[in-house]
Structure 1
Amino acid sequence: MTKQRWVIKIGSALLTNDGKGLDTTSIASWVEQIVTLTKQDIEVILVSSGAIAEGIKRLGWNERPDDIHKLQAAAAVGQMGLIQTYESLFAKHD
């Protein structure tokens, strides 16, 4: 039997506190659901937004910029926090 593969895309609206940083409780819920799927022998590919929102918070900006260079900077800064959040939450299930 071929293993099922699911691609799950989680957008910023489902991961952030109104676009201002990450909602760890919400992310933990998604992680729980993904772990449940993997225990059912489903391969999950996770595609996640949220890096820009986390970067905006870490940079101390009060609103989302329009300038592409500032958005890129926010994404670069926020990516680390986003991945660390996922890593710590998935590690609880090892």
Structure 2
Amino acid sequence: MEFELPIVNEKNEPVNFEVIYQVTDRFIDTFSFLNVSRDDNEHIYLAVDDKTGDGLSYDCSYNTLEFSFGKEEDMNVLYKRFCQYYTYIQKELRK
């Protein structure tokens, strides 16, 4: 299961990628995603939780965030993890 979410600056300005990089770093630390890939500028564009198979990535640019989820028999478990990730990202971006 995957969810692609656009990142939009509510002030009607371009997205500040420095903010995205910082929020991504904090997300990785908070949720202990270990398998990390970086772009040519050393910014994380993909991170995976080795235990769950869940991933955070940016699809084509840092304007679209993608959450992907590992295999799970109970959709409620995936829903709870999605809510955790989404709530965290929203809270951090609103700062």
**Structure 1 and Structure 2 fold alike (TM over 0.5):** no
Instruction: Using structure 2 for the length normalisation, give the TM-score.
Output: 0.33
Instruction: Using structure 1 for the length normalisation, give the TM-score.
Output: 0.33
Greater percentage in strand? 2
Query: Of the two, which has the highest radius of gyration?
Result: 1
